[in-house]
Chains A and B, each alone.
Chain A
């Protein structure tokens, strides 16, 4: 008996642990994750940790520049900007990930179908995807809002999901095309498996790494897109402390009170950069 005692190279688990170790040693991952965790904590704790009520007008102190009492100053209604920046992470941290998850699910399904069946299904869906990709975000947003008759947060979520799904679908399709060439797919067909089983149980687990990477990249863009749409008046409305609402609300007064715009803008930037740092690190680890 030759092959009885297997040389057990526990490579899979070693590789997983190795990846986690590399991630935890990467300064950019730690920095990004730290910033994200900070904003998540702010979102969860909300006004329990803000020094002032983010919605309460402190009328005597209107448009005060940053000081030891109001670190980021106050806005023209006398609200504490620091408190509002801390409290402002909540909605964006709900909407952007939700939109990304929706986009990933939709995009993955489309990518699997186009990549697995190819032929007519691929041609049709791919042309639709190309068409959607050609439409600018804002035009689509206006269209959807007109169609839904609503400029709610939900509308923003749906718009972003619809715009991002085709991009994810393309990445998934490319991965599936390569995977569907492999013999295990043929073996599955030859034992009589139906297409949905082959797609979801056989192929999908093998294309998860690129999907994960794509999803984290999209999350960064989604944050930016949510902020953009909110800024031009979709989704949340004043007096919400949302960062983009704050910027939209205050930018006419930029010359007099720059602090009311700069700090929420920096907050958005910090979150986008943090997500990108994390997604870069994950990509490096997965693609090694």
Chain B
């Protein structure tokens, strides 16, 4: 091991998976270099080869995967030449990996302490010393109460805590290279922010070299100094993070960045741009540029001749013949979109009145929802935000009649809705529909798309035979499904197409309000943009209202007219999207917004929230947010729950601090930031 060798050097790496007797290339000539102490981000959509690259580096490819060319060296050691024993030694001492799902990475049957100790004993630390070092390691990852955490089992820890433990284990050996594969993808924004802060802090302190893999450009922007963009197994662009994100020189990077709703863009500003077409299938023959089929700039040369990585400036390279024209990539989607204004002078389509839901769980009352009142007008989107456990989903399920409320009513067009869906009339069922987060679970995998749509038309629109058939083609066309798709089953479709089918199903009976429960969270950003465009088009056309739940604040801001912020089942803030986002806002909203890492460099000076969400079984007294509130004013917050009052026109806030004071506090910090 030489001290000057880079932490990671990958040269011309080819990896192939053997599927049905054929080698399908997954990585094509990947080269990257991470210097000591550097933090490098690898970005790309699903299926581009990010995780394969990580697994190849630790030689942990699936059994049908094989390195077919190139070399990998970590801290000067040739990884591909390691023998069995050496490889184990290498994994134990030289390289660490943290995976996406912390719950699955910890052994559920072992106490956390034993697992952390293991990370040390495998290095040859005597067990007594290992116990002390384990405790120390948890202190390093800023776990406040290490002794109690060590005694617990993984399921007794929150996701963020589990990920901290795993990071502590990964750092036990002071690795030459730390690989983080989507380490915060399943976590809430505030928890994600904490974990990212921790990694950034440790990296600065320990000078660990990091390979950070993520699909989230905001996270990469916050965490890394250099980044590479991977597409179809090829590195298409590489350079300093700011340069790649602010001045992208590959059409794929340009397209990807345009897909993301950011910088306060709203649906009435126009459609989001999308990337046409699909990722080439696994192992496709690609004689020219890998992106040529989807690129509006591509010409004959791109299709026949593979471009090399061309230096734009020193350190910034793009694999595009026409990189100087990349930023002028023509839009795929015309931006124009006529959105009729929402008329709030008339009656709302759906009205929630004091909805309260208390679950009985092991002898405890769990207050999932407390006195939530809101209204949604025809043609508008009410965005619903809050961390997991805040009651977003319970609210939606109560409205749909899946969960009957303990108190309060929901009204449709002024008429009280029966609390259970079984008691609702066909017209009421038709009026309220839902699009689920996970299209795999939402569509019956044994039914063809045709059957799914026809059945919904029959039940929701009362159509049969020829009439149903005609209407199905109409509905399918509106969500842009081809006739060929209709005969297929869900497994044969991509995630985006499945979500289109689910949307078509919800729209079969001309609904008045559709609950969208994280409808794009399971999708890649380019597909997400297309689905958001579709939802907005349907809204413009049908005057349908949406109750839109998402943890992605950029998405919520894009699609929502108004936003409701929930914390521990209580409405904390409700107002027009721009007002809620731009402030003055509730201290919780403020913290939530500042937690999100953005491409434009936001999230670097975030407001830290202390601790975790309190249990809904015993919510704090007074203002439920006082235990974590950075702007707590005093005893009044602990004793008196502030009322939800209209502080300015259409803007409701639940806080003891007067709006003018909030404006002053938040405005001042914004000015100095």
On A, residues with C-beta under 8 Å from B are: 1-12, 18, 182-184, 186-187, 189-193, 202, 205-206
Contacts and interface: CB of A to CB of B under 8 A. Distances in A.
B426 A192 contact: yes
For B277, B446, B505, B527, the residue with the greatest tally of chain A CB atoms inside 10 Å of its CB is: B446
B15 to A, nearest CB: 21
Interface in B408-428: 421, 424, 426
B275 A8 contact: no
B442 A184 contact: yes
7 contacts: A2-B530, A3-B496, A6-B493, A190-B434, A192-B424, A192-B459, A192-B460
B261 to A, nearest CB: 15
A4 B459 contact: no
Contact of B494 (A7, A182, A192): A7
B480 A7 contact: no
A12 B442 contact: no
Given A183-B441, A187-B505, A190-B433, A2 B494 contact: no
Nearest to A202: B444
Interface size range of chain B in the complex: 35 or more
A184 B460 contact: no
Contacts of B426: 192
B445 interface: yes
Nearest to B281: A7
A190 B281 contact: no
Given A184-B442, A202-B444, A12 B497 contact: no
B520 interface: no
A119 to B, nearest CB: 14
B28 interface: no
B332 interface: yes
A1 B456 CA distance: 25
Given A191-B429, A192-B426, A193-B459, A3 B480 contact: yes
Given A3-B500, A3-B530, A190-B433, A9 B443 contact: no
Interface string B133-175: 0000000000000000000000000000000000000000000
Contacts of A205: 444, 446-447
A184 B445 CA distance: 9
Contacts of A7: 278-279, 281, 494
Contact of A4 (B438, B443, B482, B502): B482
B277 A1 contact: no
Nearest to B400: A190
B492 A8 contact: yes
Contacts of A191: 429-430, 433, 455-456, 459-460, 508-509
Contacts of B433: 190-191
Interface string B466-487: 0000000000000010101100
Which 10 pairs show the lowest CB-CB distances between chains A and B? Answer: A205-B446, A2-B530, A183-B442, A183-B436, A191-B459, A7-B278, A2-B274, A183-B441, A182-B441, A184-B444
B625 to A, nearest CB: 31
Contacts of A10: 492
A193 B429 CA distance: 11
Given A3-B480, A3-B500, A12-B491, 20 more contacts: A2-B276, A2-B333, A3-B497, A4-B480, A6-B278, A7-B278, A8-B492, A9-B281, A11-B491, A18-B20, A183-B442, A184-B444, A187-B502, A187-B505, A189-B421, A191-B430, A191-B433, A191-B456, A205-B444, A206-B446
Contacts of A9: 281, 492, 494
Contacts of A182: 441-442
A5 B444 contact: no
A2 B505 contact: no
A18 B19 CA distance: 12
B402 interface: yes
Nearest to B433: A190
Nearest to B505: A187
A264 B508 CA distance: 63
A271 to B, nearest CB: 33
Nearest to A193: B459
B211 to A, nearest CB: 29
A65 B489 CA distance: 62
A108 B138 CA distance: 51
B641 to A, nearest CB: 34
A182 B281 CA distance: 29
Contacts, number: 101
A140 to B, nearest CB: 36
Residue of A2, A8, A206 with most chain B CB atoms under a 10 A cut-off: A2
B332 A183 contact: no
Nearest to B530: A2
Most chain-B Cβ atoms within 10 A of its Cβ — which of A4, A7, A11, A205? A7
B615 interface: no
Contacts of B444: 184, 202, 205-206
B231 to A, nearest CB: 15
A7 B495 CA distance: 11
B127 interface: no
A192 B278 contact: no
A11 B492 contact: yes
B332 A2 contact: yes
A184 B482 contact: no
A186 B402 contact: yes
Interface in B272-325: 274-279, 281
A197 to B, nearest CB: 9
Contacts of B527: 2-3
A1 B480 contact: yes
A20 to B, nearest CB: 14
A115 B370 CA distance: 32
Most chain A C-beta atoms within 10 Å of own C-beta, residue among B430, B491, B492, B500 = B492
A8 B485 CA distance: 8
Contact of B482 (A2, A6, A186): A6
B488 interface: yes
B273 to A, nearest CB: 10
A187 B456 CA distance: 10
A108 to B, nearest CB: 15
Contact of B443 (A2, A5, A184): A184
B331 to A, nearest CB: 12
B457 to A, nearest CB: 10
B278 A5 contact: yes
A206 B500 CA distance: 22
Contacts of B434: 186-187, 190
A187 B494 CA distance: 20
Contacts of B485: 6
A175 to B, nearest CB: 13
Most chain A CB atoms below 10 A, which of B436, B444, B459, B505: B444
Contacts of B432: 190
A4 B294 CA distance: 13
A15 to B, nearest CB: 8
Nearest to B508: A191
B445 A6 contact: no
Interface string B327-355: 00000110000000000000000000000
Contact of B438 (A1, A183, A189, A190): A183
A215 to B, nearest CB: 18
A6 B449 CA distance: 14
Contact of A5 (B277, B333, B446, B500): B277
A189 B429 CA distance: 9
B337 to A, nearest CB: 14
B284 to A, nearest CB: 11
B277 A187 contact: no
A181 to B, nearest CB: 8
Interface in B23-72: none
B51 to A, nearest CB: 20
A7 B484 CA distance: 11
A184 B497 CA distance: 16
A18 B455 CA distance: 31
Interface string B450-462: 0000011001100
Contacts of B496: 2-3
Contacts of A202: 444, 447
